Structure 1
Amino acid sequence: MDALAAALTGRLVRAEDDDYDAARALWNGVTERRPAAIVRCATTEDVRRTVLLAAEHHLLVAVRGGGHNVAGTAGVDGGLVIDLGEMRDVSVDPGARLARVAGGARLGDLDAASQEHGLATPAGVFSDTGLGGLGLTGGIGWLRRRFGLTCDNIVGATIVAADGSVHHVDEESDPELLWGLRGGGGNLGVVTEFVVRLHPVGPEVYAGFVVHRAERAMEVLHAYRDWSADLPDEVSSMAVLGAAPEDDAIPAELTGQPCVIVLACVTDPARGPELLAPIRDLPDPAADLSGPMPYVELQQIFDADYPNGMRYYWRSVHLPELSEEALRRAVDQTYRRPSALSTIDLWHMGGAMSRVAPEDTAFGDRSAPYLVGIEANWTDPGDDEANVRWARACAADLDDLSTGREYLNFPGFQEGGQATLRAAHGEANYARLRALKQRMDPDNLFRLHQNVAP
């Protein structure tokens, strides 16, 4: 370790160092880990040296980008963490509509740089998320129906393999490896730079934000189902069953009380009022906060809801339809949640993301028109069991109505193992990922992140 520490441009943090606890901390407070050391890499060469040391000494390796993965795989007990958090540079080529994004960059870093040129790439809905972990496993956000998933927009990468070799990947140099990086998870090596495609977006979009009282949930969800069934690609939306947020525009007596919120992004702000009218015109909303909004602000509206160190357990199911039974069960489960911070999110999928064939990316099948995100969010460690149990029960309650696939960025603690990965990727894609793993990492050094074993 001493030789590695001396050779790094970055810094090696060990258990005896004053900043060890801060360096090992993960976003999800449930997933506390105590690694032997954290390597805060500053360059691809730092990553390469660390990978070689880990392979030589058979150390268990975790790779940390933003550190926001729900399953906690960005940390490891007793092993080595390759931390890319200091590598956050973003450079934009507005003419080519491309961005080069360092492996530790957050969505907010990319949004800020690309929006200077009126451009964006599809990403998540929480600005402190790391682009790497999100994009390598999919990436569902406000632009999904217009421009696809984050992984669909990865057009190049620099990746350090398990033998320390550095690969510069694009469609010409290694199309199969690029295919694997588009949704295959962080299983093939350490990506130190992404090249992503950008699209004209902003600076303003039209944001929908309509709150209704919980007693009207079924009526609102029926209207949401009918409205979302025939939307153009420029509208991405979700209906959230949860608690009313604290806001001056929402009646104070509703704060923290059960409600249903319809959220949407319309990429053409001029068309926002027209396209959202059917859902905004429902009678007697508790509040309607809809209106034009800078895209970078829309990307940050959930930031305060997901603070570092809070406790999280998220699951997901895909639905072929929002059937009456599915809606009834979702509403019923909302009332059973032990924490008022927890939500059940009905994401409308389809559009551009659904027109990518299952075999075109490792992500797999995109045909389900709805994704149910089950978010158990709470603060007290004493409530861990109750909240995890609720989320699992909610997923099980919807399972017989689902397609059998989970979204791998909402995987619980990955307790589903290989069965979950096979279902998510599909058998043919799973076989291709195994072949890629055999080429890039035959000894399975990188086995914590959505591991398809060689």
Structure 2
Amino acid sequence: MSGTDRRTLITRVGTLAGAASVAALSPRPAQAAPSGTTDTGHGAAIRSGDLRYATLTTGNNQRFVARPEYFRVIRSAADAESALRRAVDDGKKVSVRSGGHCFADLVCNPGVEVLLDFSEMTDVSYDPSMRAFAVEPGARLLNVYETLFKGWGVTLPGGMCYSVGAGGHVAGGGYGMLSRAHGLVVDHLYAVEVVVVDRSGGVRTVVATREEDDPHRDLWWAHTGGGGGNFGLVTRYWFRSPGARGAEPDRQLVRPPAGVLVSALSFPWEQLNEQRFGRLLRNYGAWHKANSAPDSPSRALSSVFNLCHRAHGTLDLFTQVDAGAPDADKLLINFLKAITAGTGLTATALSKPSGDLAAMPHLATPRRLPWLNATRLLGTSNPTLTHPSLRADHKSAYMRTGLDDHQVATLHHHLTSEAHANPDAMVVLLSFGGRVNAISPSETASVQRSSAFKMLFQSFWGDPAQDEANIRWVRELYEDFFHAAGGVPAPGERYQGCYINYPDTDLRDPHRNRSGIPWHTLYYGDNYQRLQQTKRLWDPSGFFHHSLSVEP
């Protein structure tokens, strides 16, 4: 998942859509409205009765539904400004979507009166005036990678789910399989274009950069992990890596590996008792704790470990190593040895889909692939996050150290429970640290800069009648796992809170979050006050708000 961004999530106030292009940077004109719609110059108003309306009422997670007065499909910054001005003048509550991967109700909820859909803003191009790459909010991650790589041989260290949109993914921080080597996506964010609303209801478009003398720099900073849907409508991001030199486009962003060494393995539940299960998980945590430093030679390696419910049959581990790293083969072999040490387990091929991973039986023996091929393999074959009819529940945690005995026992108990034998219920362990931990917590709004790995607690299902059972399973597992910390990963020596791109409204509920720590501290830590200051400056009336908004 990364990814899991994943999953970016983001808030995943939407996350992506559309095919990227290397067309000119200038905005495209709004297209003519289809017959039967009202075109006001900023995209057609799609209302109930239009054959498109039902499709637009939900994003990727079918649990969350919006039935606004109308949708507008935005195609340029001018469209966004015009549509927003109309909504402000009419006093309508606005929601924003770029790709639809929001894990909670931040985008689709009953209170939304106007939903602005940015899925058709998909351009990816080089802007010489900025000496940076411009990415529109509707661009899907795989299209971003394809365009950047094919055009200039560069990339961003973003999530592995191909259909996540840049809009929310970037705003929430953004991470993926290259983050241990190159940091978060926002560590490469140079500028952002945002349509904002002032106290009197005036609407304007602002460009904010990371330049120290930019009077709008706080607005740029807020978009380096402050979540989507908080400050305005993002209509464009520009990316240039810190320290980039010269004027050539291919020197402005990081280069991906020419090739990667990949491995996909399964550990059958039939081989696992609680002792072996515990040793496997402790090994995983210990390796990541020991290799989480920014200068660790092992930052060339990243993994996704799906701890699937026993009903699925296996635990499944995907690992990727930069094939050009020193002793890449040895690094992978030593990692797999360290993870399985003392378990007595015999790994098998990953022969059936597992959470975000496709079946990859051909990778039971490590294999070299071109980087883009491996990225396509993970992204386009993702069998759950890209499924158009599933319902889901998600919770997250940043882990600074490994698991204790209570946590191992809790995972084993819930993952083997016969009362909830859902093969698509799981906990995902995701490699973190490395270059993510290279900068200070205050340098960006993404405060979690000393973690070793992430955890994602989740369940997927299709029938609305199964909502209660699945949500209850995720809640009980999560709260049992963090029982000693009040049911949440309270920031401290062991945990660093939660990932805003995996939004979870339970954190606002004192019956579920018994830690006494506010939800915003779990997501933003000490950066929240600065985000509030930015909110007061750029959205003083609180026009942009949802269930996990920054509160002015």
TM-score normalized with structure 1 length = 0.90
Rate the CA distance shift 1:132–1:211 in 2: closer, same or farther, 3 A: same
Q: Any runs of at least 4 consecutive aligned residues in structure 1 with deviations exceeding 4 A, and if so which?
A: none
Q: Summarize deviations over 1:241-297 as a string: whole Å, max 9, x none.
A: 0169xxxxxxxxxxx633222222223356442211024455521222532232432
1:192 is the counterpart of 2:271: no
Is residue 406 of structure 2 the alignment partner of residue 323 of structure 1?
A: no
Post-superposition Cα deviations, 1:154-174, rounded to whole Å, max 9, x if no partner, equal: 211111002321011112332
173-182 or 215-224: bigger deviation:
215-224
What does residue 131 of structure 1 align with? 166
Shift of 1:224: 2.5
In structure 2, which of residues 401, 414, 424 is the aligned counterpart of residue 341 of structure 1? 424
Aligned AA (1:156): A
Do structure 1's residue 233 and structure 2's residue 307 form an aligned pair?
A: no
Selected match of 2:518 from 419, 431, 435: 419
Q: Is the 8 Å Cα contact of residues 318 and 403 (structure 1) preserved in structure 2?
A: no
Q: Secondary structure at the match of 2:408?
A: helix
The count of aligned residue pairs is 439
Secondary structure of 2:481's partner?
helix
The farther-off stretch of 402-411 and 160-169 is: 402-411
How far apart, CA to CA, are the structure 2 residues paired with 1:238 and 1:112?
Answer: 22
Q: Report how far residue 219 of structure 1 moved.
A: 3.6
Alignment of 1:158-197 (within 5 A): 158-162=193-197, 163-172=202-211, 173=214, 174-186=216-228, 187-197=230-240
Return closer, same or farther for 1:222/1:366 CA change in 2, 3 Å cut-off. same
AA aligned opposite 1:389: R
Aligned to 2:416, the other structure's residue is in SS state helix
Determine the C-alpha separation between the residues in 2 that align with 1:93 and 1:267: 29
Query: How far off is 1:240 after superposition?
Result: 1.6
SS at match of 2:530: helix
Query: Cα distance 1:445–1:289, how it changes in 2: closer, same or farther (>3 A)?
Result: farther
SS of corresponding position for 1:300 = helix
* Conserved? CA contact 1:317–1:395, under 8 Å: no
Q: 1:297 aligns with which of 362, 369, 376?
A: 376
Of 373-382 and 319-328, more deviation after overlay is shown by 319-328
Shift of 1:364: 1.4
2:250 aligned partner: none
Mapping for residues 378-389 of structure 1, pairs under 5 Å: 378-389=461-472
| Cα contact 1:185–1:449 (8 A) shared by 2 | no
Q: Secondary structure at the match of 2:437?
A: helix
2:84 is equivalent to residue 48 of structure 1 = no
- Gap regions ≥5 residues in structure 1: 245-255
* CA RMSD after TM alignment: 2.5
| Counterpart amino acid of residue 305 in structure 1 | T
Q: Residue type matched to 2:528 in 1?
A: Y
Q: Note if contact 2:258-2:324 (Cα within 8 Å) is conserved in structure 1.
A: no
Residue 101 of structure 2 corresponds to 68
Query: In the alignment, what sits opposite 2:358?
Result: none
Structure 2: runs of 5 or more not aligned: 1-36, 241-252, 292-297, 350-363, 492-496, 510-516
Distance 1:106 1:373, change over 3 A: same
Report the counterpart of residue 133 of structure 2 in structure 1: 99
Higher mean C-alpha displacement, 290-299 vs 381-390: 290-299
Deviation larger for 174-183 or 415-424: 415-424
Q: Which residue of 2 aligns with 1:249?
A: none
Question: Any idea what SS the aligned residue of 1:422 has?
Answer: helix
The question of whether the paired residues in 1 share the 8 Å contact of 2:289 and 2:402 is answered with no
Query: What displacement does 1:203 show?
Result: 4.5
TM-score (norm 2): 0.74
2:283 alignment counterpart: 223
Aligned partners of 1:333, 1:302: CA distance in 2, in Å?
28
Instruction: Measure how far apart 1:352 and its partner are.
Output: 0.8
When residues 8 and 299 of structure 1 are mapped into structure 2, their CA distance, relative to the original with a 3 A threshold, is: farther
Among candidates 286, 289, 312, match of residue 392 of structure 2: 312
Q: Deviations over 1:391-423 (max 9, x none)?
A: 111211122364441111222346527921123
| Residue pair 1:65, 1:74 contacting (<8 A) in 2 also | no
SS of 2:544's equivalent in the other structure is coil
2:249 pairs with 1:206:
no
Deviates more, 1:166-175 or 1:182-191: 166-175
Q: Is 1:410 the counterpart of 2:502 in the alignment?
A: yes
